[in-house]
Amino acid sequence: MADDLCFFTKDSFILKSPKKSPLVLRTVVLFFVMVCGVYICTICLKQISTGSTTEFLNFRVVQKPCPEPNIEPWEIPYVHYPNPKTYSRAECACNPVRYFAIMSMQRSGSGWFETLLNNHTNISSNGEIFSVKVRRSNVSTIFETLDKIYNLDWMSSASKNECTAAVGLKWMLNQGLMQHHKEIVEYFNTRGVSTIFLFRRNLLRRMISILANSYDRDAKPLNGTHKSHVHSPYEVYAPPLSLTHTHKYLKVSTLTK
Ligand SMILES: *[C@@H]1O[C@H](CO)[C@@H](O)[C@H](O)[C@H]1NC(C)=O
Ligand SMILES: *[C@@H]1O[C@H](CO)[C@@H](O)[C@H](O)[C@H]1NC(C)=O
Ligand SMILES: *[C@@H]1O[C@H](CO)[C@@H](O)[C@H](O)[C@H]1NC(C)=O
Ligand SMILES: *[C@@H]1O[C@H](CO)[C@@H](O)[C@H](O)[C@H]1NC(C)=O
């Protein structure tokens, strides 16, 4: 029985194979290839479509992460949502941030003004950042520095936490500001930076302050230390004034203008 069965199957196989096999095989292979092709195509299409949708979603998430702030329409260009590279703004990521720059001249009270600003928990005024020459060697270094400050990546003693609501710096006119004023104005306009002009109305007082400061630098009557910025009446020191001195400084300053 077993032999018979074996023979029967062998026979039928031998009989069928030479005639039908090539055609059947070809159609089977063709069908298989078609199915595979369609399958691969659908997978590719799926990947492309999912890739684009996730990109699109990410794009939207980055572009519009926060609810509209409750402010006047004209103020909108002046609020920003910086994304610092060095840390996460965490729960304050949606607190709008304003950018500012204090433009001033030495001995005009800008240091005091900055101290008052920095007294606020959410304001960070980073000082005379461009007193360092390398940072103002050309427009690109200036922009790089500004980008870092306004992106909240600048670390200084005035840097606040992730909840900073206003960030800026103090910039003296003679620290590259006049040289590159066109580009800087353009940068401020495109980035929505507010400018605070701080100049001393009484120029004579400014001259006296310059005189006192330079005198103190050499004589150091304040306990043997020199302080260009004082924070209490006890630290204030006015040198004995002579008109010739003042006159000299007035002359120098008129010349440098
Ligand atoms: C701000 O100034 C007030 C009054 O001088 C002072 O009591 C307070 O500690 C200051 N706050 C900060 C954060 O410096
Ligand atoms: C700008 O200055 C920096 C530092 O001095 C220098 O490395 C850079 O090459 C300068 N860039 C241009 C465009 O002059
Ligand atoms: C100011 O900072 C505090 C904590 O440091 C935060 O809770 C608050 O939301 C901030 N305010 C603004 C207007 O960002
Ligand atoms: C001078 O400075 C020293 C060290 O900073 C301080 O201990 C001392 O009280 C100062 N004296 C005066 C008169 O300010």
Q: pLDDT tens for residues 79-90? A: 999 999 989 998
Task: Looking at the structure, give the CATH architecture of the domain made up of residues 77-198.
Answer: 3-Layer(aba) Sandwich (3.40)
Mean predicted confidence (pLDDT) in 106-129 = 92
Q: Residue whose CA is closest, atom 10 of ligand 3?
A: 163
Say if strands 79-80 and 97-104 run parallel, antiparallel, or are unpaired: antiparallel
Query: Angle 200-175-254 (CA atoms, 0-180°, nearest 5)?
Result: 50
Q: Which atom of ligand 3 is nearest to the CA of 95?
A: 14
Looking at ligand 3, which atom is closest to the CA of residue 161?
Answer: 5
Report how far residue 109's alpha carbon sits from residue 155's, in angstroms, rounded to the nearest whole number. Answer: 24
pLDDT digits (tens, 9 = 90+) for 198-239: 999 988 988 888 888 888 888 777 677 887 777 777 777 666
Question: Is there an atom of ligand 1 within 6 Å of 119 CB?
Answer: yes
Structure tokens given for 20: 């039908």
- Band of residue 115 on the pLDDT scale cut at 50, 70, 90: very high
How close is the Cα of 112 to the center of ligand 1, in Å?
13
Structure tokens given for 92 = 């304050």
Would you say the CB of residue 139 lies under 6 angstroms from ligand 3? no
Higher model confidence: residue 254 or residue 87? 87
For the entire predicted model, the pTM comes to 0.67
- The CB of 121 under 6 Å from ligand 3? The reply is yes
Could you tell which of 112, 116, 119 is best to mutate to test the pocket of ligand 1, judged by most ligand atoms within 8 Å of the CB? 119
Nearest-CA residue for atom 6 of ligand 1: 119
User: What is the enclosing helix (H) or strand (E) of 167?
Assistant: strand 166-172
For residue 165 and ligand 3, the question of a CB distance below 6 A is answered with yes
Per-residue pLDDT tens digits for 32-63: 778 756 676 566 566 655 544 444 444 444 45
Q: What distance in Å separates the CA atoms of residue 217 and residue 223, rounded to the nearest whole number?
A: 12
Contact (Cβ atoms closer than 8 angstroms) between residue 79 and residue 96 = yes
pLDDT at residue 235 in the model: 72
Q: Are 115 and 102 in contact (CB under 8 A)?
A: no
Question: Domain residue spans in the chain?
Answer: 77-198, 203-256
State the distance between the two ends of the chain, measured CA to CA, in whole angstroms. Answer: 121
Max Cα-Cα span within the chain: 136
Tell whether ligand 3 has an atom less than 6 A from the beta carbon of residue 161.
Answer: yes
